[in-house]
Amino acid sequence: MLRDKLTRLLFLWYVAALIPAVVAILLARQYLKNQSSFFTSEQKRHSIRNDFVRANGWFRVSGPSMAPTLFGSCSRWSCIDCGVVNLCFLFKHEGVAESETACSGCGAVIAVQDIQAEYAGDRIYINSYSSKDAEALAHIKRGDLVVVSNANDLHVKRLVGKPGDTVALAGVHLTINGVRIEDELFDHQIRFPHPWLLVSGDLSAAKVQQSAESVVESYSLGGKHSHQMGWVSMEDSKYQMLFSPGLVDSRQINSPVWDDFPFNVGISRRLFSADRLRLSGITLKATDIHVYFWTEEGVRRVDRSLGASEFFQVSCFDGTQVEQDQDQSAVNREHPIAIVCSTQDVTMTNLIVERLLEYRIRPNDQRRYPLLLNEDEYFVLGDNVPVSVDSRDWGPLRRADILGRVEDLQRNLD
């Protein structure tokens, strides 16, 4: 009996002494495995960088994150109304076949099931360089399209934040040093300008001929209340007309200009109002016009003297701030543009409203702001704001993550 007890005690002591050793071995194996994965990942990352740096030249764009500035492989269709070739991304989910998209030239709507052709994607010429090439990095400007390395892959994004900048929020808008990013980029002469998107009107007609004779639709400023193609001439004024983006329901409640992206088909998301707008058109007789733009910061007014059949194009950036007690325009979020003429019975043709692409956070973005960029940090964004994966997800990138700049673009829609 005593011998059996001693045997059991020795066995238990042996097991107790062995367990820590086994645990230590298992932990060491897991550590080495993790280290191996880390080094493999880093080696892959460096390999991608090195291969890219040695490969100056033309590359094919992949994915939707930079549309409409750059399109990756997607679907294409030609509008039967205006002939403009359109590109769109079909995001698959239940019921996507019943979705619709709009023409970027005239606004005509087409059902997704009628889109058959495919587009291989834009080709871009990239000037690549080593992260140690200080001279090349010095030439990168705010607003440039750059190639960055992240998550073991290469991406094209727009550089918006540089070392020393503060990235913050104004409501849902992203700002750089207190200025909305789209406003900051608008003031820069950049190789790939910030895109304007059609809100209302027919861009195809505007591209054909800036002449009154070439345009069918016309909008008259008269005393009788009317509603034509988004424009309302006011009953109490023979000289003013308001832009009405649309009606949202049977209660006749007006909606603002929404930040929809018609080339993203099948996505259900929360829309936000847009207030960086541009107006173009033609007046059939000489007149002075005052164009009022509603913005979240206040009303801005643009003054122009126009001759007969003269084309004009103005934006909220051309305007000067109007004091609240001097504003007689009646513009608001639901009627964001007003045209006031100095003469009676003025007819305008080919009125086109566009909105500037606006950068903002999304409802599910978790990153904290404000964010001060250190001396080795950059903030990048994709122009396809709702779907792009960028610094809103990754955070700032290092100088070594910037591998090149996009210099040229080929988009072959023939």
- What is the DSSP annotation of 373-389? --TTEEEEE-SSTTT--
- Alpha carbon distance 30, 274 (integer Å): 51
Rounded average pLDDT over 204-216: 41
Residue 210 has pLDDT above 60, yes or no: no
Rounded average pLDDT over 36-51: 43
pLDDT tens track for 324-381: 767 777 899 999 999 988 887 788 888 999 999 999 999 889 899 999 999 999 999 9
Considering the chain, what is the average pLDDT of its residues? 80
Burial class (CB within 10 angstroms; exposed 0-12, middle 13-18, buried 19+) of 189 = exposed
Residue 13 CB coordination number (10 Å) = 10
Band of pLDDT at residue 4, cut at 50, 70 and 90 = low
3-state helix, strand, coil in the chain (%, to 5): 20, 35, 40
pTM value is 0.80
- Alpha carbon distance 285, 291 (integer Å): 17
Point out the least confidently predicted range of 36-40, 233-237, 389-393: 36-40
Which distant-in-sequence residues (6+ apart) come within 8 Å of 248 by Cβ?
254, 255
Q: What is the pLDDT of residue 237?
A: 57
Which value, in Å, is the radius of gyration of the alpha carbons in the chain? 29
pLDDT tens track for 66-112: 999 999 999 999 988 888 899 999 887 655 455 788 888 888 888 88
**Which residue in 164, 194, 191 sits closest to 176, CA to CA?**
164
At position 95, the amino acid (one-letter code) is G
- Alpha carbon distance 405, 47 (integer Å): 19
Q: Which two tokens stand for residue 119?
A: 């587009």
- Alpha carbon distance 82, 106 (integer Å): 7
Burial per residue of 105-134, b for 16 or more beta-carbon CB atoms within 10 angstroms, e otherwise: bbbbebebeebeeebebbbbebebbebeee
Rounded average pLDDT over 268-277: 92
Residue 406 has pLDDT above 90, yes or no: yes
Q: What is the pLDDT of residue 135?
A: 62
Residue 260 has pLDDT above 80, yes or no: yes
Percent of the chain surpassing pLDDT 90? 45
Q: What is the pLDDT of residue 231?
A: 82
Rounded average pLDDT over 160-180: 96
Residue 222 has pLDDT above 80, yes or no: no
Rounded average pLDDT over 294-319: 94
* C-alpha triplet 27, 33, 36: angle, nearest 5°: 140
Q: Which two tokens stand for residue 393?
A: 């997800």
Rounded average pLDDT over 312-330: 86
Give the pairing type, strands 298-306 and 287-295.
antiparallel
